[in-house]
Amino acid sequence: MDWILFGPPGCGKGTQAERLSGGMNLYHFSTGEVLRENVKNGTELGQKADAIMKSGALVPDDVIIDMVSAKLSEDAVKATTGVLFDGFPRTIPQAEALESALTALGRELGGVLSLTVAEEELIDRLSKRGRADDTLDTIKNRLQVYEDQTAPLIGFYKERGQLFEVEGMGTMEEIEGRLREVIAKRQG
Ligand code: AMP
């Protein structure tokens, strides 16, 4: 069963995805992490993505969708209990592409774990992280891009009965516990 860890930039998706995937034989797949690797290695994809990421905008849907399709066909992924998507999907077309891909592959989406965090807390967390795309201007742009392009996914998954809201404030242990509870309930 696959899961999507969802929420605005700075909500703790990456940290929680690391914690969850460890004990659960879930494959942690962060599209942002794969993009950063490509930037570091100077690949064609990395060269294309670098400036976009630094501005806080989104990499084009077709690029991301190809990346995800390639990942889902890897043996290492097929051998796990499920994939934990982190930072994907970020647009409605990405969510639609994922839905078709999962159906075609006979995979099941357990649900979308949506972490809710107050906006002041997000800016505070992001400005302490120190990543190349964590300057104040980029942070503001990324939050705006989230509101415009990614937040509509909440309605998309709510309509499908696949959205699970999880309080993203508190200690890392508390948040992890809440996420595990949702997963355990669905996995039965
Ligand atoms: P993240 O590590 O998830 O915060 O992603 C860092 C940056 O990578 C984002 O600000 C985007 O520029 C790009 N990125 C990551 N995932 C996606 C995605 N699913 N769609 C478009 N752009 C993405």
CATH number at residue 85: 3.40.50.300
What is the reported pLDDT for 37? 97
If you average pLDDT over residues 17-22, what whole number do you get? Answer: 93
Look up the pTM and report it: 0.96
CA of 28 to the centre of ligand 1 (A): 15
What is the reported pLDDT for 22? 85
Best residue among 54, 55, 59 to mutate for probing ligand 1, ranked by most atoms within 8 Å of CB:
59
Total structural domains within the chain: 1
Q: Which atom of ligand 1 is nearest to the CA of 89?
A: 19
Contact 6, 95 (CB under 8 A): no
For 101-143, how does the pLDDT look when each residue is reduced to its tens digit (9 = 90+)?
999 999 999 999 999 999 999 999 999 988 889 999 999 999 9
For 36-80, how does the pLDDT look when each residue is reduced to its tens digit (9 = 90+)?
999 999 999 999 999 999 999 999 999 999 999 999 999 999 888
Quote the domain boundaries for residue 179: 2-187
Best residue among 28, 53, 92, 150 to mutate for probing ligand 1, ranked by most atoms within 8 Å of CB:
53
For 79-90, how does the pLDDT look when each residue is reduced to its tens digit (9 = 90+)?
888 999 999 999
Assess whether pLDDT exceeds 80 at residue 188. no
